Amino acid sequence: MTPILVMVQTMQNTVTIMDIQGMGATVAAIMAVITKAAAAAVVVVGLSQWWWWWWWWWWR
């Protein structure tokens, strides 16, 4: 649920940036935000899967 909230907040931030700056800067900002969000999602999913696997292995 938290990643979804982060994405909503991120989209609001990019919309604000779009209002202030030009289109080129907006695209660059959106790409940077998407890249960071994707990297964070990969880390979270990877850690959760690793933890689940370790927990299963420990208790089997």
Q: Where are the domains of the chain?
A: 1-35
Angstrom distances, CA of residue 9 to CA of 19, 39, 50, 60: 16, 16, 28, 40
Query: In the prediction, which pLDDT does 11 show?
Result: 67
In this prediction, residues 3-20 reach a mean pLDDT of: 66
Whole-number Å distance between alpha carbons of 57 and 1: 27
In this prediction, residues 26-44 reach a mean pLDDT of: 84
Joined together, the tokens standing for residue 4 give 């979804």
Q: Residue 37: which pLDDT band, with cuts at 50, 70 and 90? A: confident
Q: Residue 22: which pLDDT band, with cuts at 50, 70 and 90? A: low
Neighbours of 19 (CB within 10 A): 7
Distance of CA 11 to the CA centre of its chain: 11
Query: In the prediction, which pLDDT does 14 show?
Result: 63
Query: In the prediction, which pLDDT does 5 show?
Result: 72
Which residue is associated with the tokens 């990877």?
46
Q: Residue 60: which pLDDT band, with cuts at 50, 70 and 90? A: confident
